[in-house]
Amino acid sequence: MVELKGLLRLGILIVITIAGAYIIFTGFLFIFQSHYVYYPERVLLADPGSIGLDFESVDFETADGAKLSGWFIPGDSTRGVILFCHGNAGNISHRLESIQIFHRLGLDVFIFDYRGYGQSEGKPTESP
């Protein structure tokens, strides 16, 4: 009977320890989730001019007043326009190779940095 009580206490202690570790781990993930999802880079490495493309720097405001920055790169013909949303890492300067490919296809490209990326204000979030 004494051994059974000791095993029961040990079992309860193990369950409490695992539950506590799980709560701490999920809390840590919740608090730091943006660091695991967004990888913004503020410094622009180059611009389209550095690879011989004409471009226009474009700044515009969101509904809540945050300033976002981007580039408009005209294509050689008027085949269409690409709205380029660059993804969750880096900034627009990391996409020059893709911009060059679209330009060679004769497409205009408009690319912009999300909040907290490149020259855009704010911090990255899922909501506007």
Q: What are the pLDDT digits (tens) for 71-103?
A: 999 988 778 999 999 888 889 999 999 999 999
Q: What are the pLDDT digits (tens) for 7-54?
A: 888 889 999 999 999 999 998 888 777 667 666 777 888 999 999 999
Q: How many domains does the chain have?
A: 2
- d(C-alpha 120, C-alpha 40), whole Å: 11
Q: What residue numbers bound the domain in which 22 lies?
A: 2-31
pTM above 0.85, yes or no: no
Within 10 angstroms of residue 30's Cβ, the number of other Cβ atoms is 8
Q: Are residues 10 and 44 in the same domain?
A: no
Residue 9's alpha-carbon distances to 3, 13, 15, 23, 35, in angstroms, are: 10, 6, 10, 21, 39
Q: Are residues 94 and 55 in the same domain?
A: yes
Q: Are residues 26 and 82 in the same domain?
A: no
Q: Are residues 44 and 25 in the same domain?
A: no
Q: Are residues 22 and 65 in the same domain?
A: no
Q: Is residue 121 part of a domain?
A: no
